Every structure is written in C-alpha cells, then in structure tokens.
Amino acid sequence: ALVTARFELRDDAKDLGERALHELASAARRDPDATFTAWREAGSTRYLALVVEPDVEALRQMLAPHLAGEVTITRHELVTSSDLARRHRRPR
C-alpha cells in the first residue's frame, strides 16, 4: 500500500528534520518491500512523503520534534501506472 504523508517542518528545525527524513530513507533501503521518497515544496518547509510499506508510527515519532503541525497520512490504492510491465501495454 502507498501512503502519503504531508507535513511542515519548523523553520528552525528544517536541517534536523531533513536529517530525520534521510534516516527514514536509509531504513527503507534496508527493507526490500519498502520505499520512501520525500519532496519539499519549492521555497518552503512543506513536504510530501511517498511511502510504500510504511511504518507510520516511526515516521511520526522521528519527525515529531521538528514539526510545525500534524502529519496528515492518506492511504492510497493503485489504479494504474506507467511502471507496469510491458505485457500490460497494447501493441502499437
């Protein structure tokens, strides 16, 4: 399952918060079923993380000291993707 996490870091905690995000990505690399990608809105401290096989509680705990508010978690279901195997595509 894919989960999106939307959150904002405090201005004074941006560097530490981003370090926590790097730690979460490193942990995901060690898990063959997990993926963690974080995006920052250009010029701001608002973030969107895309997480497959998430440990949502770990995400909240690691970011908690750096947050400017709450983490909003949304669970998603796959409908389709350009990454699907070629056998799923129609011949040209």
Residue 54 has pLDDT above 90, yes or no: no
pTM for the structure as a whole: 0.82
Please list, in sequence order, all residues whose beta carbon lies within 8 angstroms of the beta carbon of residue 17, skipping any fewer than 6 positions away.
Answer: 9, 10, 63, 66, 67
* Rounded average pLDDT over 22-40: 93
Query: How many other CB atoms are there within 10 angstroms of residue 81's CB atom?
Result: 7
| Whether 78 contacts 3, CB under 8 Å | no
Q: Which residue has the higher pLDDT, 86 or 33?
A: 33
pLDDT (0 to 100) of residue 78: 86
pLDDT value, residue 38: 97
Percent of the chain with pLDDT over 90: 72
How much is the pLDDT for 46? 98
